[in-house]
Amino acid sequence: MNGNNDRKSNRANQGQDPSPQSHTTHRPIIPPRGDYQTLLSFQKAEVVYDITFRFAHKYLGRGDRTVDQMVQSARSCKQNILEGSKAGTTSKETEIKLTNVGRASLEELLADYRDYLRVRDLRIWDKDSKEALFVRDMGRKTP
């Protein structure tokens, strides 16, 4: 009985492509990535880096280790988004890990900016202050 079914099955499949892709449009499991320059997160990280570089060199003392730390945190964020995007072409897990490293670098940078304000007795804006809302609104506008 099994032999009969096998022969019928073989005859029914003759001339047909047994691959599952023969009847559907092929879609990659991992979508193509790597074009980091179009990512909004990369674009904003690049702006953060540029501003941090200028801020640290203008407002922090020469020889202050905080200059290097802040610039490196900002750079690390940008570079990890770039690297994660490129790695995303082959590994979503690596992309997520690198993106999280970038996020952690931003948190470190934020702490440095808060330290700068605190030790100089400058006001730290509440996230919903009119100043913070104004700056966030500026970031949403396209040039």
Q: What is the pLDDT of residues 72-90, one digit of tens each?
A: 999 999 999 999 988 888 8
**Is 64 part of any domain?**
yes
pLDDT at 125 over 80: yes
CA-to-CA distance for 64 and 86, rounded, in angstroms?
A: 34
Is 106 inside a domain boundary? yes
The per-residue pLDDT for range 35-47, each reduced to its tens digit, is 788 888 889 999 9
> Would you state the structure tokens that stand for residue 10, as one six-digit string?
């073989």
Q: Evaluate whether 78 touches 49 at the Cβ level (below 8 Å).
A: yes
- Tell me, yes or no, whether 55 lies in a domain: yes
Chain mean pLDDT for the chain:
82
CB 106 within 8 A of CB 99: no
Q: Distance of alpha carbon 31 from its chain centroid, rounded?
A: 16
Asked if residue 75 is part of any domain, the answer here is: yes
- Report residue 102: phi and psi, to 5°: -60, -45
For position 34, what pLDDT does the model report?
65
Render pLDDT for 90-120 as a digit per residue (tens, 0 to 9). 888 999 999 999 999 999 999 999 999 999 9
User: Has residue 61 been placed in a domain?
Assistant: yes
Residue 36 falls within a domain, yes or no? no
DSSP per residue, 6-75 = HHHHHHHHTTS--SGGGGS----SS-----GGG-HHHHHHHHHHHHHHHHHHHHS-TT-HHHHHHHHHHH
The answer to whether residue 6 is domain-embedded is no
Lowest mean pLDDT across 5-9, 121-125, 126-130, 138-142: 5-9
Q: Structure pTM?
A: 0.71
Which residue segment(s) compose the domain that 51 sits in?
A: 41-121
Higher pLDDT, 58 or 90: 58
* 128 occurs within a structural domain: no
Rounded Cα gap, residues 42 and 82, in angstroms = 7
Taking the CA of residue 129 as centre, how many other CA atoms within 13 Å lie in the half-sphere pointing to its CB?
A: 8
- State how many domains the chain has: 1
* pLDDT confidence of residue 50: 97
